[in-house]
Amino acid sequence: MEKPRRNFIKKAGIIAASTTILPNFAFGSILPQQKKLGVALVGLGYYSTDLLAPALQLTKHCELKGIVTGSPEKIPVWKEKYNLNDKNIYTYDDFDKIANNDDIDVVYVVLPPSMHAEYTIRAAKAGKHVWCEKPMAPTVADCEAMIKACKDNNVKLSIGYRCQHDPNIQAYMKVGKEQPFGKVKMINSAAGYFDGRTNHWKQQKEMGGGVMGDMGVYAIQGARLATGEEPIAVLANTFTTRPEIYHEVEESAMFQLEFPSGARASCHTSYGISMNYLKVIYEKGSLQMEPHSSYRGNNGSMSDGTIINFPIENQQAKQMDDDALALINGTDLIVPGEEGLRDITVVEAVYKSAAQNCQVKL
């Protein structure tokens, strides 16, 4: 058993060593310590309360300095828990005054998707860098307006795609780029969970609901990141098994993507089915990830026995530290606004294909 064990260690070591050349592994050891960036969370729902605020307590290069909320009853709780200064607490009405607050360097927009464009643009006009949760926005036009506003006001825009900061995801991206198994031939990418809620923004069209923009982007990214290409055609179908809940937006979607290299992807996403995996078939091998897009524990393996299983303490903390370092050092963001735009371009094509029952060229 010693020889196979040594081979496993060798292969795992090669992957671990090779991923260190990826952008977000190149920072911490060579940069001097600098002031932490002050972050204001806009919207205090589940993701801010249970994930982002706790993650900010783990970061080295940014810190929670302010909040923006429409719920006055939440303010005393957040003030006490995170020792927030009164001058760093805003409502949606007086949000624009944040322009005069030097404590806040970054505004993190964590609102329903229909509000992302408005608050990204307002933050940009206030001279603050913007981190925006996914989906970036309901439409391509919104995404383009967000990108333009940030460029016009000389601030940076990053989308909260935590997975692209995860070394396990970066490992399969590297395989697609370096092609040790040859070109990608076929992909199966799925992301979904059973959502028992009946009155949430995810079920409301006006709020930017629907599974495609939410879980669907994970399925899209599985294919895009595995190939390193952008799709050129989409064929899709959307459906629901609970029309009493999902009567405004789709509960599930199935779609096929075609890439310039000839690679094809079969993608699935749902609020009614739990699924979380990526399978990639190359010319001379294969790779699979399961889970593929979880908050923790993403892992996989390759057909040559290589294991993808890198420890990561907290995805959200890693994401925010990576983005903070990019802002501090003037380097490229791992997930700029253009990356969010690419996904929403596909999302719009999925809707068009499903509505017209035909393939849509991109």
Q: What angle do CA 240, 246, 247 make, to 5 degrees?
A: 100
Concerning whether 11 is annotated as a catalytic residue, the answer is no
Q: What is the DSSP string of 77-92?
A: HHHHHHT--GGGEE-S
Residue 127 CA to residue 120 CA, distance in Å, equals 11
Report CA-CA distances (Å) from 79 to 41, 60, 68, 76, 89: 13, 21, 12, 5, 9
Other beta carbons within 10 Å of 37: 21
Report CA-CA distances (Å) from 84 to 35, 79, 87, 328: 18, 5, 9, 23
In which element (H, E) is residue 270 found?
A: strand 264-270
Q: Are 333 and 156 in contact (CB under 8 A)?
A: yes
> What residues contact 13, with CB distance under 8 A and at least 6 apart?
none
Choose the catalytic residue: 134, 202, 279, 318.
134
Choose the catalytic residue: 90, 119, 161, 218.
218
Concerning whether 134 is annotated as a catalytic residue, the answer is yes
* Catalytic residue numbers, as ranges: 134, 218
